[in-house]
A and B are shown apart, each in its own frame.
Chain A
Amino acid sequence: MDEPSRRRVFRTLLHLFPRSFRDEAGRDMEHVYADMYDEWEREREGAGLRFWLSLVWDAGRHAAAVHLDRAIRNPLTGGGGEMMGSVLGDVRLGLRQLVRHPTYALTVVVLVAVGIAGNAAVFRVFNGLFLRPLPFENAERLVDLDERADAWDLEYTGVAWPDYVAWSEGNRTFEAMAVYTGVGRNLADDGEAERIDMIAATHTIDDVLGIAPILGRMWSAAEDVPDGPRLVLLTEGFWNDRYARDPGVLGTAITLDGQAYEIIGVLPAVAELLDGADVWSPLQGDGDGWYLTGLGLLREGLNLARAAEDLTAVHKGMISERDVNEVTTPVVTPLRDRYLGESRLGAELLLAAVGLVLLIACANIAGLATARALSRSGELSVRRALGAPRGRVARQLLTESAALGLVGGAIGLALGVWGSRAVVEALRARGDFPAWVQFDLDARFLLVVASVTIGSSLLFGIVPALRSTHAPGRSASGRVTGSRVRRRGTATLVMGEVALAAVLLVVGGLSLLDISRLNRVDPGFTTENVIAYRYQLPRLRYPDQAAAVAYADQVVASLEGLPEVESATVASLLPLFDHRGWFFVAEGAPPRADDEPNPVVLTRSVGPNYFRTLGIRMLQGRAFTDRDGREDESWVIIVNEEFVASHLDGDPDPIGRRVANGTGPPSSDDRWFEVIGVVRDVRHYGVDQAMRPGVFLPYRSQGSRYAQIGVHTRGDASEAMAKVRRVALDVDPEVPPFGMILMETRFADTLFVRRASSLLFGVFAAVALLLAVAGIYGVVSYGVGQRRKEIGIRMAVGANASEVLAQVVRRGMALVVLGIGLGLVSALLAARPMASLLVDVRPSEPLVYGLVAGILLAVAALANYLPARHAVTSDPMGVLRDE
């Protein structure tokens, strides 16, 4: 928090005290606040939530006491000033009222608590994702660097090393620039290896992120060259867990993938926020694939557009040496937007939805409070007759509302923080968001929740308060029927509530319908009883492809030897994991023009059991056998439906056709791959994502040190996981399986954010419906209660009960129908921005709108009918006698 806003907070706290106290001590207290803040920043770990909470608690508690002290000491003037003294009086009066009518107080507190809890929970997540400053220095100037290739149908390709070198040398808009890539490593000290997360980065990464080692040093430019020395820096957490913060680790070696790396330093905890890295090491970049993640620190005062222009000029300027840069273009995106931009709309809609719920709750309370103020008009007019000015009565009502609102708000805050914990933990655990996203509570969160609470208290308090100043000073014994003004007021509330509820129901309905349809989409492979994991072979012991293939053969054979295992397979990529793209061209296809789209083909190399293990259906031809992919065999390939459509002109019988890797025909005739099979499309990127053309090559011909294993078990896969792990370690203790997960879990994870937000939309809609129904019921009950005399007389003179009933219900339903109409039209507008969030449902889906209208009509009819029936069935003479 910067200094001016801190000062504002301090001043606000001081305003809790009586003016006289503030005049005496305010300036000095401000000094102490500032001194304490400095102390916290300097000597403790920063002035966090605890600090602010303690300050607020201290100020609130003692301010109340000082008010009381001074009021007692000087009852004539109310001590702390006329205003505060009488507010205290109001509070006292209010409390007495509330103790006498606990149901009302309780209802208001519960309504506020529910509304605030929802808002606090959603805002906590929103704040963490989009508002909190990133935990890096100069966060506002940090940008993500990447490349885009429209012709390959790739939104992001990753950065290629030669491009980075050219950018960082040629740009004039960046203060610093770095690229890195996440590379896991097997850490083997003695015995079984363990998997750790490492990032390999250019030596400039510390400048970009503003991170300096807390011990030792960063690597230098001279060390960051191909075949340079093997060096690592530990991150603080890893240093702590593994070396118990021993400064003696400097200069010692750590064995990663069988090779010794010298430890040259320790990085502060913030370094772990980059991909959750345990260690950093020099990238020593080379090659020309697009495998790097780029980060840039913009020069002060420069905007993104300038930077993008600058990089593009450099990038396109090197086309003569690197013609592929014709296709690729640099992309510069603020760091947060790059990773969270897609979630923003959904989060904003959730925030809006939960805000509407609060609004409905406020409307409900306003209705209740108005009814209550009217039923108290006897008391209020007595007070006025005794000389209380109108404003005073209004203020009393407002004070009561505020007191109840604050109590409800405090409970709601606690509930919201508690309730959001589960969501926050799930989001963290799942790793849907980068590690630098922090959901800890902060001062902004508290301020927003507090202002929302105060705002809503004013909102629902102001209606009855204003009304009390306008109401005629009627006779204390008068029994008037509801005035026209009053009825119009409650009518507006009912209509508004119904309309808002309709909007929320539509949004919730669309979202739930979408997720339920997605849940039914067949991903094209079986997720049940399949275990997936990754492994990486150390280069020293597995120097070539033959060694890698031998390892895979051995692991698969051992796994299939287990009684629990139905079948197992090796694969470069299993469904739902990562992406690797190649270009392909079909024999006889006309050459593509440079600017003609050439979609990247998802390319996987798989073992013979791949299709069986994952339950992927062969549509034509055959699966791979053990012979496929051997040196002496011809080259074969299996393709998916999408590939047949995009590369083979939708050929109904593509078996035997030939394709080649690359953008043009191969150099020699035996480099063609022959299509031997067609399989069903698999939703590799998740059921909510589009599928690409895809091909499979025999693993035997492509084997690499980094691969995945899929295991299909006979029984419950979760029970077999430990055994699978054991078998893998038995084959080679230095090759630990990592990222082991049930395919079912992985599949559910891909839809987690969607499912969670649909659920929230659904819950908000349900709460809104409940509140609206309660609101209608309350208002109708009250209205009917006011008209009991009229109804009683009509019944007494022989009116038909069902006619009277129908009349009451009809009047109520007219409002409801208007509200529904209004709500559905607003929902149609509100749902429009949702289009990009929905996969399988149009925002104007008639089914949802019809259902919402039906539900609202039904429950509203019930809410109208019940109190009306009560009125006509009660004994008319009794009613009249009561009068």
Chain B
Amino acid sequence: MKHQWFLILLSLAEGPLHGYGIQRAVLDRTGDRMRLWPAMLYRSLSTLEGEELIEQVPAPDDQPDDERRQYYALTGKGRERLVTEGEALAVWAADARKADAR
């Protein structure tokens, strides 16, 4: 799975976000190293939606100003996929750490 897809799924794990919200979440999580520029972002969202890993949802009730914006949320399938990918990454991360120890 592509890096940016994983990060998008990860950002949505905490709840629905709109496009710019996802961009900020990924920025924060990567310490400003990865910015998903708009075209890349929406191309990724479109792909993830096509794979049914995320879905469009109405704006949350606590964000009334943002009802013009499209929010995205994880689907059940998306959440499962995130967990499996995460586990795979964890194994690799552990292996990488061993390399450092040697």
Residues of A within 8 A of B (CB): 13, 17, 21, 24-25, 27-29, 31-33, 35-36, 54-55, 58-59, 61-63, 65-66, 69
Contacts and interface: CB of A to CB of B under 8 A. Distances in A.
Contacts of A63: 39
B19 A32 contact: yes
Contacts of A59: 38-39
A56 to B, nearest CB: 10
B29 interface: no
A31 B39 contact: no
13 contacts: A21-B46, A25-B45, A27-B68, A27-B70, A28-B19, A28-B70, A29-B39, A31-B69, A58-B38, A58-B39, A58-B40, A65-B43, A66-B43
A647 to B, nearest CB: 72
Contacts of B38: 29, 32-33, 36, 55, 58-59
A31 B37 contact: no
B37 A29 contact: no
B18 interface: yes
Contact of A28 (B37, B40, B43, B69): B69
Contact of B23 (A21, A32, A66, A69): A32
B18 A31 contact: yes
Chain B contact residues: over half helix, strand or loop, or mixed? helix
A60 to B, nearest CB: 8
Interface string B33-45: 0000111111101
Nearest to B42: A25
Q: Which of B20, B39, B41, B43 has the most CB of A within 10 A?
A: B39
Interface string B5-40: 000000000000011100100000000000001111
Interface residues of B, number: 16
A31 B19 contact: yes
Contacts of A61: 39-40
A55 B37 contact: yes
Contacts of B20: 31-32, 35-36
A28 to B, nearest CB: 5
B39 A28 contact: no
Nearest to B27: A39
A864 to B, nearest CB: 52
B39 A62 contact: yes
A54 B42 contact: no
Given A25-B46, A31-B69, 17 more contacts: A17-B39, A25-B45, A27-B70, A28-B18, A28-B42, A31-B19, A31-B20, A31-B68, A32-B23, A33-B38, A54-B37, A55-B37, A59-B38, A61-B39, A62-B39, A66-B46, A69-B43
Contact of B42 (A29, A35, A36): A29
A515 to B, nearest CB: 49
Contacts of A69: 43
A32 B36 CA distance: 11
Contacts of A35: 20
Nearest to A25: B42
Contacts of A65: 43
A58 B42 CA distance: 11
Chain A contact residues: over half helix, strand or loop, or mixed? helix
Contacts of A24: 46
Contacts of A54: 37
B46 A62 contact: no
B40 to A, nearest CB: 5
Nearest to B45: A25
A417 B93 CA distance: 45
A133 B40 CA distance: 33
A53 to B, nearest CB: 11
B76 to A, nearest CB: 23
B70 to A, nearest CB: 5
B62 to A, nearest CB: 19
A648 B27 CA distance: 80
Contacts of B69: 28, 31
Nearest to A17: B39
Contacts of B46: 21, 24-25, 66
Nearest to A10: B38
Contacts of B45: 25
B73 to A, nearest CB: 15
B42 to A, nearest CB: 4
A31 B42 CA distance: 12
A41 to B, nearest CB: 15
B48 to A, nearest CB: 12
Q: Which of B18, B37, B38, B70 has the most CB of A within 10 A?
A: B38
B43 A62 contact: yes
Q: Which of B23, B37, B68, B69 has the most CB of A within 10 A?
A: B37
B3 to A, nearest CB: 15
Closest 4 CB pairs of A and B: A58-B37, A62-B39, A35-B20, A25-B42
A21 B47 CA distance: 11
B19 A62 contact: no
Nearest to B23: A32
A62 B40 contact: yes
Interface in B35-91: 37-43, 45-46, 68-70
Contacts of A17: 39
A67 to B, nearest CB: 11
A74 B77 CA distance: 25
A62 B47 CA distance: 12
A27 B38 CA distance: 12
A59 B23 CA distance: 15
A33 B23 CA distance: 11
A27 B42 CA distance: 11
A150 to B, nearest CB: 60
B68 to A, nearest CB: 8
A27 B19 CA distance: 11
A467 to B, nearest CB: 37
A36 B37 CA distance: 9
Contacts of B19: 28-29, 31-32
Contacts of B18: 28, 31
Contacts of A66: 43, 46
B24 to A, nearest CB: 8
B11 to A, nearest CB: 14
Q: Which of B19, B42, B69 has the most CB of A within 10 A?
A: B42
A66 B45 CA distance: 12
Contacts of B41: 32
Nearest to A26: B42
Contacts of A21: 42, 46
A738 to B, nearest CB: 45
Nearest to B47: A69
A759 to B, nearest CB: 42
A173 to B, nearest CB: 44
A61 B68 CA distance: 27
Contacts of B40: 58, 61-62
Contacts of B39: 13, 17, 29, 58-59, 61-63
Contacts of A58: 37-40
Q: Which of A17, A21, A28, A66 has the most CB of B within 10 A?
A: A28
A58 B44 CA distance: 13
B69 to A, nearest CB: 6
Nearest to A13: B39
A136 B37 CA distance: 32
Contacts of A62: 39-40, 43
Nearest to B41: A32
A503 to B, nearest CB: 44
A31 B43 CA distance: 15
A98 B70 CA distance: 43
Nearest to A35: B20
B72 to A, nearest CB: 10
A28 B42 CA distance: 9
B49 to A, nearest CB: 9
A31 B45 CA distance: 15
A839 to B, nearest CB: 53
Contacts of B42: 21, 25, 28-29, 32
Contacts of B23: 32, 36
A136 B18 CA distance: 37
A137 to B, nearest CB: 30
